[in-house]
Amino acid sequence: MLEGGWIKAVTSELSLAQSLIHPIRAKNRSAQSEFARLISPQSQVLVLPISREVLLEAARLRALHAIEMPDAIHAATAKIARCPFFLTADVLLAQAISARAVNLGQWKSR
């Protein structure tokens, strides 16, 4: 859907660091390369920097909704990018930014 232009995806640069942890531990260079390719300025995913604006909004979200900082950074990025949907299994996290939660695990099983 992303490659066909049906949907647009936005993520934070933080996604790269988080997605590389397990492939690095497993010494899976192929997975490392794939994540680095997917979460890059050249991919079809819009990768936004962790700017001062994102950090200020993340602090506000963390203070008001008691969410962990990495989640707050992702949520702040989505909010600033005006994403109507948020890919998460945590409905409350999506609600914190007035987005609709989309759980891929549930979506794929239908």
State the pLDDT at residue 89: 84
Could you say which of 2.40.50.140, 3.40.50.1010, 3.40.50.720, 3.40.47.10 is the CATH number of the domain covering 9-108? Answer: 3.40.50.1010
Which stretches of the chain score pLDDT less than 50?
109-110
Q: Chain-centre distance of CA 85, in angstroms?
A: 11
What is residue 4's predicted lDDT score, i.e. its pLDDT?
76
Q: Domain residues of the chain, as ranges? A: 9-108
Residue 109 has what pLDDT?
45
**Residue 103's pLDDT is what?**
82
Tokens of 15: 């996604």
Give me 22's structure tokens.
């397990």
Name the residue with tokens 């992303």. 2
Structure tokens at 91: 């409905």
Q: How many CA atoms lie within 13 A of 88 on its CB side?
A: 22
The pTM assigned to this predicted structure is: 0.84
